[in-house]
Structure 1
Amino acid sequence: MQLQKKSKKISAIAQNKNLSIQFSLDGFSFCITDLTTNDVNLFSEYIFEKTIASPELLLEKIMYIFANDKDLQQDFKSVSAIHQNNLATIVPNDFFDRNNLVPYLKYSVKTLATDFITYDNLSSINANTVYIPYVNINNYLFQNFGEFEYMHHASVLIDKLITKIKNSSIKTGFFVNVAPNLMDIIIIENDKLSMYNSFSYSCKEDFIYYILFTAEQLQMNPEEFQLTFLGKIESDSDLYKITYNYIRNINFIESTTCFFNEDDDFSNHSNYILLS
């Protein structure tokens, strides 16, 4: 099984440690944190050669990684997992019924009668992320670690961006989180979420279309607003270059951890959800 692994370790692993995992059909990453100091001791990322076709095949990859990566074969004080997929929607509290989750997804996500649907409460915006987690992977993690926490990546991302905006002088934030074949667009205005959506893309033209379409719908001038990238995108990439043809003001999000150095294989904005 071919897997590309990149990793950074900065110190000996502490006794009281937390394992945080993030996975999607395109990759698997994890970090180990010292619970006493909150310092990140280790980050590792596995990049799949191509997008996995199903959660069942993804589980096979993850089982292989756990069986062969000694850093994962330890005792952890706590474990958390982040499901990264586009099987989610945001529902305000005023319209939310936790006992009837199916209708929230049926118009935007192809669901099956057997799908398990759950939600994360987002107290920062008085809303909930309703989503379909990969239950087979949750079951596997439970077999390995017992009780653990899990969330959808949109929940983690929105909470972090809302906090970041509140602690800054920025009034409006246009954020684009980039993953292979998947992009999240998050608009925050006056400390409140204006829009969240996730789009699948297969080429750079799709990518810029969704950005410009979103800006047009919200009547945001590409010559004026600030676009902030995070995730798997760099200034020398085709995605960045085509965006710069249309958007004048672009930057990368500043991470609070600064775990990576300039000479590392990673940039600080590249794993914002898991590390910041």
Structure 2
Amino acid sequence: MIKVKQLQKKTKKTSAFAQYKNLSIQFSLDGFSFCISNSETKEPLIFSEYAFFPSIASPELLLEKIIRIFDTNKDLQQDFTKVFAIHQNSLATLVPNKIFDRNNLVPYLKYTVKTLKTDFITYDLHRIIAANTVYIPYVNINNYLFQNFGEFEYKHHSTVLIDKLLTYSEKDFEEQFFVHVSPNYLDVMVCKEGKLLFYNTFTYNTKEDFIYYILFTAEQLQMDPNIFQLTFIGDIKKESDLYSITYTYVRNIHFMNPVNSFFADSEDFSNHSNFILIN
């Protein structure tokens, strides 16, 4: 039995009504979240987030948890015009188009991800950069979603994150250092004028691990922690140990300014959280 904290679910709703709705969901071994939006205006209507403590041990157990959520949450028990799923995991790598062969995906992951012969490997084509994200999706969850909704679209979280941040920062003339925080890993991305300079995902267990990867990236790119600006996104607060140790070494820190004001008056969600699903 997986023990989950009593206050594991948080929800934000508006009073707006829509006849046609889209469903976007994001899942990882750390949690599950979904956003229901107006199909025509794209306005968010409902957002719910489930945090798993401790993290789920396997994709099989994650599916069991997701099935229970769908069975008990009435917001998910309706018809949707479009369904979009985001797989959030570290089982991925970024491959430039120049060396990409869609018919031979296995070699791209073998040095960074432990793969099995039975693993299904797929890829996402990026909208902005000439590259593809090669990754292992949770096929069992895809099958469950197909049984419930029929055809749907899915992508890896890094694909969505990279494309959104490049669009967000395309007019910035200085290098932008973004850190997207999740409970057990962080995505580090550096870009300038809509061009990707660096992207990687790092797993961390302690705050010392966390700051090490940030400083390691800065050192590799010859960026001075006393000068460059670091922008936090995701599951991090100013009162957290992660923020405190980062501020010890990086002088200029701020949180992402939201594109969407959906969380502006929320007590449960920060404006810079859930950038992938909402903003």
1:134 to 127, 131, 138: 138
2:239 matched to 1:236?
yes
Q: Which amino acid aligns with 2:52?
A: F
Task: List, as ranges, runs of 4+ consecutive aligned residues in structure 1 with deviation greater than 3 Å.
Answer: none
Q: 1:65 matched to which residue of 2?
A: 69
Matches within 5 A, 1:34-45: 34-45=38-49
2:186 matched to 1:183?
yes
1:5 to 6, 9, 13: 9
1:197 to 185, 197, 200: 200
The offset of 1:49, in angstroms, is 1.6
2:196 matched to 1:221?
no
Q: Which amino acid aligns with 2:201?
A: S
Q: 1:206 matched to which residue of 2?
A: 209
Paired with 2:13 and 2:146, the residues of 1 have a C-alpha distance of 26
Q: Which amino acid aligns with 1:33?
A: S
Counterpart of 1:130 in 2: which secondary structure?
A: strand
Q: 2:155 matched to which residue of 1?
A: 151
Q: 2:92 matched to which residue of 1?
A: 88
CA RMSD of aligned residues (A): 1.1
1:56 to 55, 60, 67: 60
Deviations 1:13-36 (A, max 9, x none): 411100000000000000000012
Gap runs ≥5 in structure 2: none
Paired with 1:48 and 1:191, the residues of 2 have a C-alpha distance of 35
Counterpart of 2:257 in 1: which secondary structure?
A: coil
TM-score by length of 2: 0.96
Q: Which amino acid aligns with 1:185?
A: V
Q: 1:163 matched to which residue of 2?
A: 167
Is the CA contact 1:171–1:191 (under 8 Å) kept in the aligned structure 2?
A: no
Is the CA contact 1:181–1:202 (under 8 Å) kept in the aligned structure 2?
A: yes
Q: How many residues align?
A: 275
2:37 matched to 1:33?
yes
Q: 1:124 matched to which residue of 2?
A: 128
Deviations 1:109-152 (A, max 9, x none): 00000000000001301100000000000000000000000000
Counterpart of 1:273 in 2: which secondary structure?
A: coil
The offset of 1:11, in angstroms, is 1.6
Is the CA contact 1:165–1:171 (under 8 Å) kept in the aligned structure 2?
A: no
Q: 2:118 matched to which residue of 1?
A: 114
Paired with 1:271 and 1:37, the residues of 2 have a C-alpha distance of 19
Is the CA contact 1:31–1:44 (under 8 Å) kept in the aligned structure 2?
A: yes
Q: 2:275 matched to which residue of 1?
A: 272
Gap runs ≥5 in structure 1: none
Deviations 1:210-255 (A, max 9, x none): 0001101111100000100000001110000000000000011112
TM-score by length of 1: 0.97
2:253 matched to 1:254?
no
